[in-house]
Structure 1
């Protein structure tokens, strides 16, 4: 009998996590992946902690039901508002193992905070994120663990995700909102020399962000950071790596209309996507 597929799950509230999946697949093409976008209930950035936790757990559970042993929350809001509860409460209770839970869920915040301080010469970094991520204070708390004393300044950019998801990320109208939030961030400290795009939608605004950012500033997207971190994780956890199937298969799920998802997802993922509808 063929070995059952045990893909790596990648979850996001919408399309943004596809920018992370794109980099993961580029670095680790041999594995099978399932991407789940909860497009019917996006955006998560404005929702309460309890709601984000409930939605995220439901989607993670579905990925587990499809054979995933490892799930990446490629969503900053879900990582900020749901990951800790899932790791500390749900996994030990539902999937106990001899050396910890036999299902694993990882986020995008920790890999980023482990390295962000190495990019800054001034010791001042700026975080551009959704309101939910900023309010959670997750970046301040995690960065303090790895780089005590690093100055962390945050700016919520509530219009950036709608601009991207409505296909306006390259339009002249987007300039106003990109400049507005970068100016507000820099007003907190003119010495900020590193900007973190702490939402996986924001790489589509990268060219505009570069235009309005200070000359010479380092702008960090999370896809490459997360893919490097995942590769390292799989080396350090061979018992998890051995369970991941390796047929190079890609499956895309969406809780909304597949036609809309496929059209938008192709932009984020960089190649044609054919999705399957998932009713939750």
Structure 2
């Protein structure tokens, strides 16, 4: 019987739950521990230094709680913190691994496009980092990629105001701007794990030939493949089908919103970092 060693999931807020939901559906046997840094969300408008420091603080907290594998279920953290954590910080944590969501998405999402023209919508931090452009240039240089920041979306989602008339108008405005920027684009990648929460609103604004792709199932399949290729990690992880939720923000608010996203009643614990 393995010691308690859950797969850790980290996000600046609620968005990573959209990824966790898909992962649990594909890999239900594992234990999971989710940490949302809601108190300091959103990350998209923060400096690279702040994003790295906050992300690494949360990752270390997950390590302390038994996680040998942590998924940064946050594009901004994956863009601004993952490389430094992998290349520098993990040297002091043998046997620990941290993975992101950008590379798995870049490896697969181009396959959905017929025109080979792709629109990426993300936070200001993710777009400014150019991480997606670098990944596509390396993995699929034939793909023409247009990036657009939607800085208002995460605050709308975190405040649960995306279904208000004002919120919908902002979403519609940003989607229309993206479609005009790359008229022949036939795939929109939601390059922020918060955005699937408003995917229905986005899909109402796009032509029928444009596919709107979220990252949850992509990351789930990628994680399953990773575990199959890294048996030493797979054997370390505990399998009790349990899940625990932690938030740095207001517990009741987290429970309400998370229960809606996951479509099940959940209980969370408040954590002070």
TM over 0.5: yes
> Aligned pair 1:240/2:239, yes or no?
no
Cα deviation code 1:231-260 (max 9, x no counterpart) = 110000000000000000101011122111
Q: What stretches of structure 1 of length at least 5 have no aligned partner? A: 97-101
> Aligned pair 1:125/2:124, yes or no?
no
Q: Following the alignment from structure 2 to structure 1, what is the Cα–Cα distance between the partners of residues 196 and 262?
A: 11
Residue 59 (structure 1) shift: 0.4
- Aligned residue number for residue 256 of structure 1: 249
Residue 131 (structure 1) shift: 0.5
1:192 paired residue among 185, 194, 208? 185
Q: Following the alignment from structure 2 to structure 1, what is the Cα–Cα distance between the partners of residues 50 and 160?
A: 27
Superposed counterparts of 1:104-253, under 5 Å: 104-253=97-246
Q: Following the alignment from structure 1 to structure 2, what is the Cα–Cα distance between the partners of residues 230 and 270?
A: 22
Q: Following the alignment from structure 1 to structure 2, what is the Cα–Cα distance between the partners of residues 188 and 203?
A: 22
> Aligned pair 1:52/2:45, yes or no?
no
Q: Contact 1:75/1:199 (CA < 8 Å) preserved in 2?
A: yes
Residue 3 (structure 1) shift: 4.2
Residue 172 (structure 1) shift: 3.1
Residue 149 (structure 1) shift: 2.6
125-134 or 153-162: bigger deviation: 153-162
> Aligned pair 1:83/2:82, yes or no?
yes
| Superposition CA RMSD, Å | 1.1
The count of residues paired between Structure 1 and Structure 2 equals 273
- Aligned residue number for residue 9 of structure 1: 8
- Aligned residue number for residue 40 of structure 2: 41
Q: Following the alignment from structure 1 to structure 2, what is the Cα–Cα distance between the partners of residues 172 and 215?
A: 24
Secondary structure at the aligned position of 1:85 is classed as: helix
**4+ residue runs over 4 A deviation:** none
Q: Contact 1:128/1:199 (CA < 8 Å) preserved in 2?
A: yes
Q: Contact 2:72/2:101 (CA < 8 Å) preserved in 1?
A: yes
Q: Contact 1:262/1:273 (CA < 8 Å) preserved in 2?
A: yes
Q: Following the alignment from structure 1 to structure 2, what is the Cα–Cα distance between the partners of residues 245 and 57?
A: 23
Q: Following the alignment from structure 1 to structure 2, what is the Cα–Cα distance between the partners of residues 213 and 138?
A: 25
> Aligned pair 1:265/2:263, yes or no?
no
Q: TM-score, normalised by structure 1?
A: 0.95
Q: TM-score, normalised by structure 2?
A: 0.97
- Aligned residue number for residue 71 of structure 1: 70
